[in-house]
Structure 1
Amino acid sequence: MPPNSATGDGLNRRALLVSVGFTAGPDPEGSEASWPRLPFAAAASAALGSALEPFGYEPRFVADLAASEVSKQIEDAITSTPKDGVLIVHFVGHSHVTVSGQLAVIGADGQKTRTTEYWVDLAADHDVRLLLLLDTSHAGRAVRSSEQLPNSNIWVIAGADDDHAAFSGRFTAAVIEALRELAADSGDPYIGYPALVPRVADVLDRLVVEAQALPQRISYTRLDLLRPNEFFFFPLRGTRPASPNARWEVQTRGYGDRPTFDDHLRREALWRSLADLIEPTATTADDQDSGPTVLVIDGPWGTGKTSLAGLARQHLEATERAAEQPDTKPGPLRVRDADRALSGKGPAVWEPAMMRHAPAATTTPPIISVRFDPWAHQTTEQVWAGLTRALLDAVEDKLLPESEESTRRYWFQRNISKLDRMALRRSLRRATISPLLAVSALALLVPIIAQMARSPDDYNLLVFTIAGSNIAVLLTTLALLGSIGHTLWRYFRRPAADFLPADLFVGPIPADATSAEKPAADAALRDPYYRARSGYLYLRQHDVFDVLTDVEKAGHYVVVYIDDLDRCSPRTTADVFEAINVFVNASFPVTRFVLCLDATVVVAHLDEAYPSLGGQRKFARPLDPTPGWSFLRKVVQLLVPVTAMAPGRVEDLLDDLLRSRPDVPDPVSAPDTRPSPAASEQPAAAGAPAPALIDQGSAGDSVVVRQLEALEHHPRVRASLAARAAAFPQLSAREVKRFLTTWQFYVRVFARVDPLAEQDDVVERAEHLVLLAELLVRWPAAQRLHSQRVDGRLGLSLLAESAGDDQAWNQTLRRLRLTGPHHDDFATGVRAILRTPEGLAMTKRAESVL
């Protein structure tokens, strides 16, 4: 059945993956020899299943079944595969050669299944497209049965020849790697059989050499190399055959540089292992074997350091962790309680029972994650200010919410130990006294003196006769008693925060801030750089120590993530490491640090920050080229290098990036009168049907309904993007994003500069612009030089004309000032591009926009 060009190939893809790693009982000949265990079998099967999923398979796994059940599973899979289906059967385990020389595999009971020849005949009888992958010894014997059916749709690729063994699942690993490499390299709708077989053989040879293992050679159905177009097992990922009426428009809008927390680079093993080491345990505190305290993710810019740390952090934060509510929820801190605390005679206003804490028996203690951006700070004081502020903000979010009374009590109790208690107590009492008291006292004296100077008169008040002077005294006395009562009410009932500086209750304050004794005290405390200007660290080290000690007692653990340290000044870099060195000191509660940096840049900064150590070789270890490396070695316990992205990962990254798009717009109901395939304003979502566009001719012409397709998903364009991205020497997700963003931009530019009616021309131009995007992104330092006009000609055009002649090429490079070691890679790479027809076509197109 040929592929269906309108809806993909229309084939129903199935995969049965059988692994038998544990085999009991004697062998089929009845000997007492035991079968060796194959611990890799299930893992190999699972890895192949993951590799098949992007090709449209939903693998079904069968593990460690008896021989009869293995036969039944395979036979049921063959007979149930529909006519429009393809089936992959993979087996990894032991095998047995029968007396007649046929191959049978061994089940978990030590018995043999039906022969592979039987399965091949069964598939031929049911007209099933079958690919049999056999990772077992003597598997080549299964190949002969498939070659006896030259007109069938059955292929066998075996991990060994007729008389030799297969080892350690290497054949399965070779198939997986070959599929990934070919998916990135192929420009066809399918991975062809003639391409797959030699690639598997090459990869297997490489794996054998790397493992220094015994030789292992594959066997395969050879006759089917003559009919490669029937091999529909592996469609090119991220594409589908184009509709003949497709209209191709770019739909991606490019990408920013914010860190992503999707594992585009398939580094799950790395970030999960990092998370395992960061994860606190019940014995984390101060144990020497509790894991590294300072972990560094090291790599050049753009290699995914931030994303790797973010994935580990995201995983840790997603883990369910138990945290109990405080045992005691206190009420507001009254003036009376604050006054007694300031006197030193009253009870503590805060107790550990008022803070949230983890259950004593928990195996997953809560984590407080802190993010610190050092590049926002310049001086030593500001670095400490920023780091401790970030720490305290994170702690407050988890344990000391600003809205809770326990938080106000906590900071009040911490702060009064550093202040002049008596001065603060006097200030509190003065502020507590009712403002009516002084008025009432004055009002009491004035009428008494006035009435004494006047003749006394009597007044009838209800049933009482009272002298006028006494009435005045009575009224002022009542006012005085009221003001005294108001004062007492404020003292016993009002919160102390109403009468003291607010900073006392929201965080640590400097010891020389004496509240109301200094008129400008509040304003100074609100200035974030007050302490820096006064020569006082924003939050002193012992303030942080006290807070971290309380955090540890509450069963919580702190992890600090520091990023972009390599973008800071040398002095700031050194200050951050000095601060970290204080934290990792044994006297501090355990605090883990995860740093993302380029070690080469950071070491250069440390060497510059400590120039006096530059000539002191005795400071550096013998294997360290500079003291900066020795400093880094001292502070860091685990350094994880992150290298450039492997070319084989390009296709995975393109899949992830180009499939994330907004929803599909409604189909266009009006005739499409646009003269060019300009960029769609609202891209289609992955996997959804594209909107229809109606091309209406003149009266009497037929109406052509065109299907709007994403240009970046065209097989040829997708293959060009993957191939050219893989050619970048320092490949990273950031570079691939810049590459795609630049490409889509120029596709949009040309759609307006030079509208094309023929869709094949649109696709061809998009392929040429892939080369232009590579030129601009891969060698940005040469952009102005090759884009300059010389005698009215674009420099790139001059390079294209001279690319075929060595002497002319060198002359043109000198003319454009593209010589020197820093342009060697440009000269080599661009010349290789310009020698191709596609490169020449790209140059002609670039004339109109550069």
Structure 2
Amino acid sequence: MTAADKAVRMTLDRVIGFGEPITRLAVNTDVAADPLLEVHGHRVHEIVHANTGLRYEGEQRVYWRPAADNLAGFSRPDGLHVRVDGKDVLVRTTGDTGEWRTLSGHTTSITTVTTCPTPSGPLVVSASLGGTIRLWDPRSGEQQRIGAPGSRVDHVVSYVGPDGRPRIVSGDDDGNVQIWNPLLPPVPRIGQVSTRGFSDRVAQEDLLDRGTLVEALRDVLRPGDDDGPTVIAVEGAWGSGKSTLLELVRNRMPTPPTTTRPRRRFTAGQADRMLYRPPEVVEPPEQKPTKIKPMVHPLVVPFNPWRHQSSEQVWAGLAKAVTEAAESAIMPHQNNRERYWFSRNAGRVDRRHLQRQLWRRISSPLLSFAGLGFGLSLLGALTKLSLGWAWWATAGLAAAGVVHTGLRYLFGRASAFLPGELFAGPVVSNAFSTTTTDPLVRDPYYNARSGYLYLVQHDIRALLKDLESHRYRLILLIDDLDRCTPRTTAQVFEAINVFLSDDFPATRFVLGLDTTVVASHVDHAYQELADAKIVTHPDDPSPGWTFLRKLIQLPIRLPRTTEDAVDRILLAQLGPVHREEPHASAEITAEALTTAEASTVVPEQATVDQVVVAIEQHAEVREHLRHRLKAQPEQSVREEKRLLNVWQFYLRVLASADVRQASHLVAVAEIATRWPAYLHRLRGGWQDLADALDDDVRWGATIAKLGFTYADRNAAANLRDLLRDCDAQAVAALTTRLF
């Protein structure tokens, strides 16, 4: 007796007779507690309950997984490759040196091979003409189980039963469907997808292993070196991680809290005196050079010009971003902030008009009643009525009104009686020259045309000098320039040029951009320069590239995202892969199997407590995702997120928790995200493509029929490679249904 014959025999749960040879067999596990079998013969087509063998009369199930009936073998993305060589099975697994391992045990030719799930990985299932079914461990090459239906077996399929243990279904030439129980340890129960997709927001952790790049850029930006580069560009293609890199740099350069003490409230009386005689704006004294350089703190300000729709709003948004950051750094207290901005704005408004309005607002309402009382008292005196009490009441109201007005003047907060814009930031020149109730004043973006360039050149310059006197250095992070319109891009560069002038304190800029797109924007915005064919750098294709060459002093090209980052991205987005812990209680011994086989009573299916594993954390599904993401022609975190989003969405559409269907959906999601421009041509032609996959002539005729031209040859070739790398028939069925 050979070692293969000593393998433990499987127990037979159930035999369902159909009276004629089985020609097709499929299983449906949409309802885990009630798996169904679809059986075809020459004249028979039945759907039965796998648990009982009774005919199924319910609603039509959607997804059927057919039994394997191939002789060529198969390959799985997890590295398992299986081939058939007459009576032997050839296997190769991940880590093998390229040599095939031979699994010998069948005495007749093998008719079909498939796999059976187990907690430690799939087993290979093979069936033969002689009517034997054998289970092999592809990693060790040992035979684990054996079954003997008795006649030729052409169809074998596996599924997980309600008790969590795998089952093997075979169909033979005698018209019998046998359900075998190998009594293997329970496999995890698969739940539906649990994650909800991923946004395009910047990541808060370094998924691409760019820590050294972040630290180097932080060291370059660290204040204290006046000779460092002032304009730095982080260059990369769309989705390469520019925004995340800038956010990581920002997080590593926090602004220390200020030591400024809060001042007393800014009163109406102080505002009145300041309007009467505004204080002279004294420039901060220049810092004298010393042998010991004082500590300078970074003030990192993010600015996204893409959010602003016009060039005027770019100036306004830039001024607002700098102002808010400076306030939090050097005047975080409200009283300090109100006093600072009012003193800055007092010299640019119609002071006399505003002063009259201030007195009108602080005047007590009691003075109005006192005036009314005085009129009544005067009327009584003229008519010789006895109203002596009215004079006393009038005098009392007048005295109370004067006291109330005085209290408002001396202790009332100035911002309660004057427009709040005077205390919240720099106002546009002449904004208050006519009236302070103009609704346009409420939103500074409406005043952009009336002087924001003046504001940047004067108020922001003064604010930067105040920051410098408090030992802060401004660092502006400008992101998404490649998303802006050409005119907006040009406005940002003009603003940078203003900040770089000698009148402004030292300011540094870090730009996140795709140089190809931004150079095109510059060429478009300054079309007259391109038409004039000005002299460009000999190595530049257009004036836009030369402009960037002159503006940017430190170009930092992001390294290309590689396959090595795929595992980190999947771990961060989908969580860890579920790994089954080995338990002694789950192991089934040979003696136990022999005892169970000898019993004349079919063992009842015991209910076991199973771990529910989200389908995206299943090892086989994760391996499919990993394999296809690594096969992308251009690695991009954004593209990988798009693929995962589409994949998860269609898992929800199908309400699927089937591992194989989820694996096929990976290819469907890749088609949707990688070739969206061709989906309208491919609609209705997926089955034709799957059928023509291995025939060059037929494939060429099929893609030509679908409208592919010579210019589309690369897309067609890549699509063919994808279909060859997966189960093309299953993918074609899903794409036909979903698209």
TM tier, shorter chain? 0.5 to 0.7
Question: Could you tell me which amino acid in structure 2 is paired with residue 593 of structure 1?
Answer: F
Q: Are residues 1:518 and 2:518 paired?
A: no
The whole-number CA distance in structure 1 between the counterparts of 2:461 and 2:686 is 62
Matched with 2:175 is none
* Higher normalized strand content (fraction of residues): 2
Contact 1:411 1:508 in 2 (8 A): yes
Question: Could you tell me which amino acid in structure 1 is paired with residue 421 of structure 2?
Answer: D
- Deviation per CA, 1:142-194: give whole Å up to 9, x if none: xxxxxxxxxxxxxxxxxxxxxxxxxxxxxxxxxxxxxxxxxx98569996374
User: Which residue of the other structure, out of 388, 393, 409, is the alignment partner of 2:319?
Assistant: 388
- Deviation per CA, 1:211-246: give whole Å up to 9, x if none: xxxxxxxxxxxxxxxxx969xxxxxxxxxxx96433
TM-score of the superposition, structure 1-length normalised? 0.58
Contact 1:243 1:707 in 2 (8 A): no
Q: Given the superposition, is the C-alpha separation of residues 540 and 246 from structure 1 closer, same or farther in structure 2, using an over 3 Å criterion?
A: closer
User: Which residue of the other structure, out of 667, 681, 705, is the alignment partner of 1:785?
Assistant: 681
Residue 379 of structure 1, CA deviation: 2.3
SS in 1 for 2:570: helix
Contact 1:337 1:349 in 2 (8 A): no
Contact 1:771 1:842 in 2 (8 A): yes
Between 488-497 and 570-579, report the one with greater CA deviation: 488-497
SS in 2 for 1:529: helix
* Higher normalized helix content (fraction of residues): 1
Q: Are residues 1:368 and 2:299 paired?
A: yes
User: Which residue of the other structure, out of 207, 210, 214, is the alignment partner of 1:267?
Assistant: 210
User: Which residue of the other structure, out of 314, 330, 343, is the alignment partner of 1:399?
Assistant: 330
Between 741-750 and 498-507, report the one with greater CA deviation: 741-750
The whole-number CA distance in structure 2 between the counterparts of 1:452 and 1:249 is 96
Residue 575 of structure 1, CA deviation: 1.0
Q: Given the superposition, is the C-alpha separation of residues 245 and 449 from structure 1 closer, same or farther in structure 2, using an over 3 Å criterion?
A: closer
The whole-number CA distance in structure 2 between the counterparts of 1:497 and 1:764 is 67
User: Which residue of the other structure, out of 709, 723, 726, is the alignment partner of 2:613?
Assistant: 709
Matched with 1:815 is 705
Question: Could you tell me which amino acid in structure 1 is paired with residue 552 of structure 2?
Answer: V
User: Which residue of the other structure, out of 502, 516, 533, is the alignment partner of 2:420?
Assistant: 502
The whole-number CA distance in structure 2 between the counterparts of 1:654 and 1:586 is 49
Q: Given the superposition, is the C-alpha separation of residues 412 and 608 from structure 1 closer, same or farther in structure 2, using an over 3 Å criterion?
A: same
Q: Given the superposition, is the C-alpha separation of residues 497 and 255 from structure 1 closer, same or farther in structure 2, using an over 3 Å criterion?
A: closer
Contact 2:429 2:455 in 1 (8 A): no
Contact 1:245 1:705 in 2 (8 A): no
Residue 413 of structure 1, CA deviation: 0.1
Matched with 1:248 is 190
**Superposed, which structure 2 residues align to 1:349-498 within 5 Å?**
365-401=296-332, 404-437=334-367, 439-441=369-371, 443-444=373-374, 447-448=377-378, 450-451=380-381, 454=384, 473-498=391-416
Q: Given the superposition, is the C-alpha separation of residues 689 and 659 from structure 1 closer, same or farther in structure 2, using an over 3 Å criterion?
A: farther
- Deviation per CA, 1:525-566: give whole Å up to 9, x if none: 113333136576594431211112212211223222222221
Question: Could you tell me which amino acid in structure 2 is paired with residue 504 of structure 1?
Answer: L
Residue 685 of structure 1, CA deviation: 8.8
**Superposed, which structure 2 residues align to 1:34-53 within 5 Å?**
none
The whole-number CA distance in structure 1 between the counterparts of 2:364 and 2:189 is 81
Residue 406 of structure 1, CA deviation: 1.0
Matched with 1:669 is none
- Deviation per CA, 1:601-648: give whole Å up to 9, x if none: 111111111111112333422222111112222222222222441123
The whole-number CA distance in structure 1 between the counterparts of 2:535 and 2:463 is 35
Q: Are residues 1:300 and 2:237 paired?
A: yes
Matched with 1:776 is 672
Residue 712 of structure 1, CA deviation: 3.8
Residue 594 of structure 1, CA deviation: 2.1
Matched with 1:338 is 271
Matched with 1:97 is none
Backbone CA RMSD of aligned residues: 3.9
Contact 2:193 2:651 in 1 (8 A): no
TM-score of the superposition, structure 2-length normalised? 0.66
Q: Are residues 1:839 and 2:728 paired?
A: yes
Contact 1:298 1:639 in 2 (8 A): yes
Contact 1:570 1:609 in 2 (8 A): yes
Q: Are residues 1:562 and 2:478 paired?
A: yes
Identity of aligned residues (%): 38
Q: Given the superposition, is the C-alpha separation of residues 657 and 363 from structure 1 closer, same or farther in structure 2, using an over 3 Å criterion?
A: farther
Q: Are residues 1:653 and 2:569 paired?
A: yes
Matched with 1:152 is none
Matched with 1:825 is 714
SS in 2 for 1:333: coil
The whole-number CA distance in structure 2 between the counterparts of 1:578 and 1:261 is 32
Contact 1:385 1:538 in 2 (8 A): no
Matched with 1:309 is 246
- Deviation per CA, 1:458-492: give whole Å up to 9, x if none: xxxxxxxxxx6766545434443443333333333
Between 826-835 and 430-439, report the one with greater CA deviation: 430-439
Matched with 1:98 is none
The whole-number CA distance in structure 1 between the counterparts of 2:446 and 2:277 is 29
The whole-number CA distance in structure 2 between the counterparts of 1:705 and 1:415 is 72
The number of residues matched between the two structures is: 551
Give 5+ residue unaligned stretches, structure 2. 1-76, 82-91, 100-137, 141-183, 286-290, 584-601
Between 564-573 and 635-644, report the one with greater CA deviation: 635-644
Matched with 2:631 is 727
Q: Given the superposition, is the C-alpha separation of residues 257 and 449 from structure 1 closer, same or farther in structure 2, using an over 3 Å criterion?
A: closer
Contact 2:267 2:413 in 1 (8 A): yes
Q: Given the superposition, is the C-alpha separation of residues 393 and 811 from structure 1 closer, same or farther in structure 2, using an over 3 Å criterion?
A: same
Matched with 1:192 is 95
